[in-house]
Amino acid sequence: MAKPIMAKATAVWLVDNTTISFKQIADFVGMHELEIQGIADGDVATGVKGFDPIANNQLTQEEIDAAQSNPMHKLKLKFNAAAVGEEKRRGPRYTPLSKRQDRPASILWLVKFHPELTDGQVSKLVGTTKPTIQAIRERTHWNIANIQPIDPVALGLCKQSELDAAVQKAAAKAAAEGKVMSDDERRKLVSTEQSLEMEAEPRIPSAIEGLEGFTLGGGDNAADEDDRKDEDFADADSFFNLPDSDEDDDKS
């Protein structure tokens, strides 16, 4: 059900000027019944000026009278013929001036970590134009040397749920086209919740990859050394016995 504009201020006006029940007001403005009771007690919306829904063409006096006489009556917004047939605006979302300078960094993050997203999807997520996205993809942007990739969710340019939905859509499209993806790409195409639930894949560090089973010495000598018997090293003290001085003199 459609909700009135300035819901809390409308609730304040209804509490102060009518005898409509807290439950009826809560259902109409989309708030909890306890919040409406808090408004009546002066604990909630302190200092908020009431917003007259009759003067602002949101309710009729007849609707208020019906609600006051019948506690089960649900308030309904006044029909507004001017709003009929109004379509949602298409195109990039509006980005506040304070955050527009962050868009290149978020675009670079998206094209780097989610290259499967189309220019249209990136445009809707961060509110930019396709030429700008293309310039960053091709690294021909005038300031590309100074742009660092930053998550658009961290910058407040989009919600995590919106990013997850775009990624899931890209995954479905890739699956429909039969595209073969690596494990890393599959991880990028799942939502944040799914990714956190996935087990980490065991990997061998690249520095020792391919060295499994390798023993010092290498070649056939390694096997020979393993076959040596303990008695070969039984007289270990002989390695530390130095020759007598007389023998040294004879040799000299």
Instruction: Tell me the DSSP string of 28-90.
Output: HHT--HHHHHHHHHTSSSTTPPP--TTTTTS--HHHHHHHHH-TTPPP-PPP-GGGTTPPPPP
Q: What was the pLDDT predicted at 228?
A: 53
CB environment 205-217: b (16+ within 10 A), e (fewer): eeeeeeeeeeeee
Query: Scanning the structure block, which residue is given the tokens 């919106």?
Result: 162
Rounded CA-CA distance 52/66 in Å is: 17
Q: What is the reported pLDDT for 69?
A: 92
| pLDDT digits 0-9 by tens, 31-68 | 898 989 888 888 887 888 888 988 888 888 999 999 99
Tell me, what's the pLDDT at 86?
47
Amino acid 177: pLDDT = 77
**Half-sphere exposure for 5 (CA within 13 Å, toward CB):** 7
Residue 84: its pLDDT value, please? 53
Q: What does R_g of the chain's alpha carbons equal in angstroms?
A: 37
CA gap 30, 158 in Å, rounded = 25
In this predicted structure, what is the pLDDT of residue 131?
92
pTM of the model: 0.40
Among 45, 8, 50, 42, smallest CA distance to 25 is for: 8
State residue 245's pLDDT score: 52
Q: Write down the pLDDT at residue 13.
A: 92
Report helix, strand or coil for 8.
Answer: helix
Q: Cβ of 33: how many Cβ atoms within 10 Å?
A: 14
Confidence (pLDDT) at 20: 92
Q: How far apart are CA 211 and CA 222, in angstroms?
A: 15
Q: What is the mean pLDDT of each run of 10 residues along the chain (252 residues)?
A: 81 91 91 89 84 87 91 84 52 63 91 90 89 92 91 87 89 75 53 54 51 50 51 54 54 49
